[in-house]
Structure formats: C-alpha cells, structure tokens
Amino acid sequence: MSDSIKNVEEKSGVVVITTSGYFNNIAGDAVLEVFNEKMEEGRTNFLIDMEDSKVVNSIGVSILIELIEKLQTVDGKLAFTNLAAIVEKTFNIMGLTKYCEVYDSVDSGVDNLS
C-alpha cells in the first residue's frame, strides 16, 4: 500500500479510505488506484477519511473530481470525513462539496452512506 494510504476497509458496504500526510498528486493517484480497484469489485459507496491529511494541494484534490465523475456513471456516492477547516474550505471553493457530503466522523459517514 502507498505511504499516502493509511488504511482501506469496508464497513457496512462502504469503502473507507484513510489517507496519510500531504494530499498531493501522489496521494491523489494512490486514492484513485484504490478507488478503481474497488469500483471493479462493484463497490459504489466511498468515504475518504482525511484526519491524517491536514494539508492538501489542488492537484491532489483535482484527482478527486475524477472519482466523482466515475461515481456519477454508477449512481455511487463519495463523501469525506475528518476534514481540517482549510481542507473543507478548499473543497468548497473547488465545488467538491456540491457533490459530496462531509461528515464529522467515520461512523457518521458510514451510517449515512450505507
């Protein structure tokens, strides 16, 4: 597993991807790789836990737009949890939060997505 991915697990049918460190292009690509693998297995609900990624850049975040795009084709859902304030603000400015919910905890996200 990439250093940018701390953990991947499934909870009640939701794939929870926990990132680690600076969310740049490398981290974005790592998430996309896991996402693609799980999509091929038929998973359509994803929660990204960014508790350990307090710093992002727009190149990494722009890769998440690809996830949204792919999920729209299968009526899937992408959500985020444990966002630092500046990360959530960045997501707002870029428009991701128009398409993805943000939850306070992994449990809350899983409850709402499952």
Site residues (vs other proteins, CB under 8 A): 22, 24, 55-59, 61-63, 65-66, 68-69, 72, 84-86, 89-90, 93-96, 98-99
Locus of tokens 């306070």 = 104
Nearer to other proteins, 3 or 10 (CB): 3
Q: Are 94 and 63 in contact (CB under 8 A)?
A: no
Residue 34 token pair: 């896991």
Nearer to other proteins, 16 or 79 (CB): 79
Closest CB 85 distance from other proteins, rounded Å? 6
Closest CA to 13 of 49, 44, 39: 44
Nearer to other proteins, 16 or 28 (CB): 28
Task: Give the separation between CA 34 and CA 15, rounded to whole angstroms.
Answer: 10
